[in-house]
């Protein structure tokens, strides 16, 4: 079952389509290529929230839907929950 979607190969986060539980091996789908990916969730990922596809350091950009959506304010690892606690929009 697909649990998160990734718009395109360049994206560095996916979006949960269901609630993903900590420790779960979650399955994702790249929408552009239909390629599947699996990763272990390090935190609970609520429906609609982002899951990291790779490690990010402070001040790195985060790519979603092929666009830079913000800058990292607290480092995170592959499988981590990405939200307002570790990512800030570039608009503010």
| Whether 5 contacts 28, CB under 8 Å | yes
Which has more pLDDT, 63 or 92?
A: 63
Residue 92 pLDDT > 70: no
- The domain containing residue 64 runs over which residues? 4-88
pTM: 0.93
pLDDT confidence bin for 77, thresholds 50/70/90: very high
CATH, residue 23: 2.30.130.110
pLDDT confidence bin for 76, thresholds 50/70/90: very high
**DSSP annotation string for 30-59:** ETTT--EEEEE-SS-B-TT-EEESS-B-TT
Q: Model confidence over 9-65: pLDDT tens digits?
A: 999 999 999 999 999 999 999 999 999 999 999 999 999 999 999 999 999 999 999
Whole-number pLDDT of residue 90: 75
Whole-number pLDDT of residue 31: 96
């Amino acid at each position: 079952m697909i649990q998160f979607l990734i718009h395109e190969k360049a994206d560095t986060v996916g979006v949960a389509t269901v609630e993903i539980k900590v420790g779960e091996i979650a399955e994702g789908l790249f929408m552009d290529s239909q390629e599947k990916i699996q990763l272990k969730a390090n935190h609970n990922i609520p429906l609609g929230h982002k899951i990291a596809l790779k490690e990010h350091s402070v001040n790195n950009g985060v790519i979603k839907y092929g666009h830079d959506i913000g800058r990292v304010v607290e480092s995170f690892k592959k499988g981590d929950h990405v939200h307002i606690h570790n990512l800030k929009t570039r608009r503010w």
